[in-house]
Structure 1
Amino acid sequence: MRRTTWRRLLTTVLACPLSLLLAGAATSAPAHAGSKPSGETRQGGYAALGDSFASGVGAGASSGNCRRVANAYPALWAAAHHGEPFNFAACSGARIHDVITSQLSGLSSRTTLVSITVGGNDIGFTDVMKTCVTSGESACLKSIARAERTMDHVLPGAYDGLLRSVTKAAPHARVVVLGYPHLYADRACAAGMVTRRSQSAVNAAADHLDRVIAGRARAHKGAAFADVRPAFAGHGVCSADSWINPPSLLSVDASYHPTAQGQRKGYLPALGTASRP
Structure 2
Amino acid sequence: MRPVRVVSGAVMALLLAVATLFLVTPANAASVNYVALGDSYAAGVGAGNYDSSSGNCSRSYGAYPELWASANSPSSFTSVACSGAKTGDVLNTQLSAVNSSTTLISLTIGGNDAGFSSTMETCVLDGTSACQSAVATDESYAQNTLPGLLNNLYAAIRGKAPSAEVVVLGYPHLYEVPGSCWFGISDTSRTAINGAADTLDGVIAKAAANAGFTFADVRDAFSGHEICSNDEWLHSTTLPIDESYHPTADGQSLGYLPVFSNAI
Question: What TM-score comes out, normalization by structure 2 length?
Answer: 0.84
1:168 aligns with 2:166: no
2: CA distance, partners of 1:113 / 1:225: 14
Matched, 1:240 2:248: no
What is the CA distance between 1:238 and its match in structure 2? 1.2
For the pair 1:57 / 2:45, whether they are aligned, the reply is yes
Structure 1 position 207 matched with structure 2 position 195: no
The correspondence for 1:257, drawn from 243, 246, 252, is: 246
C-alpha displacement of 1:253: 2.3
Cα 1:140/1:191, change in 2 over 3 Å: farther
- Going from structure 1 to structure 2, the CA distance change for 1:203 and 1:107 (only over 3 Å counts) comes to same
TM-superposed deviation, 1:191 = 5.9
After superposition, give the CA deviation of every residue in 1:117-175 in whole Å (9 maximum; x if it has no partner).
Answer: 01010011111111111111111000000000000111000000110010111111001
Unpaired stretches in structure 1, ≥5 consecutive residues = 1-43
User: Larger relative CO (CA 8 A, sep 6+): 1 or 2?
Assistant: 1
- Identify which of 101, 104, 121 aligns with 1:113: 104
Amino-acid identity (%): 49
Equivalent position of 2:5 in the other structure = none
Give the Cα separation in 1 of the matches to 2:134 and 2:207.
Answer: 24
The Cα offsets for residues 64-89 of structure 1, whole Å up to 9 and x where unpaired, read as 22100000000001111214200111
Instruction: Supply the distance in 1 between the matched residues of 2:74 and 2:124 (Cα, whole angstroms).
Output: 45
Flag as ranges the 4+ runs of structure 1 deviating above 3 A: 188-193
Which whole-Å CA distance do the structure 2 matches of 1:251 and 1:116 have between them?
25
Tell me the TM-score normalised to structure 1 length. Answer: 0.81
Partner Cα separation in structure 2 for residue 69 and residue 190 of structure 1? 28
CA distance in 1, matches of 2:182, 2:35: 37
- Which of 215, 219, 225 aligns to 1:229? It is 219
Q: Are residues 193 and 260 of structure 1, via their aligned partners in 2, closer, same or farther at CA, if it must alter by over 3 Å?
A: closer
One-letter code aligned to 1:232: F
List runs of 5+ in structure 2 lacking aligned partners: 1-31
Q: What SS does structure 2 have at the residue aligned with 1:268?
A: helix
Contact 1:116–1:177 (8 Å) recurs in 2:
yes
The root-mean-square deviation of aligned C-alpha atoms, in Å, is 1.4
Q: How far off is 1:269 after superposition? A: 1.0
Q: 1:98 maps to what in 2?
A: 89
User: Is the partner of 1:104 in helix, strand or coil?
Assistant: helix
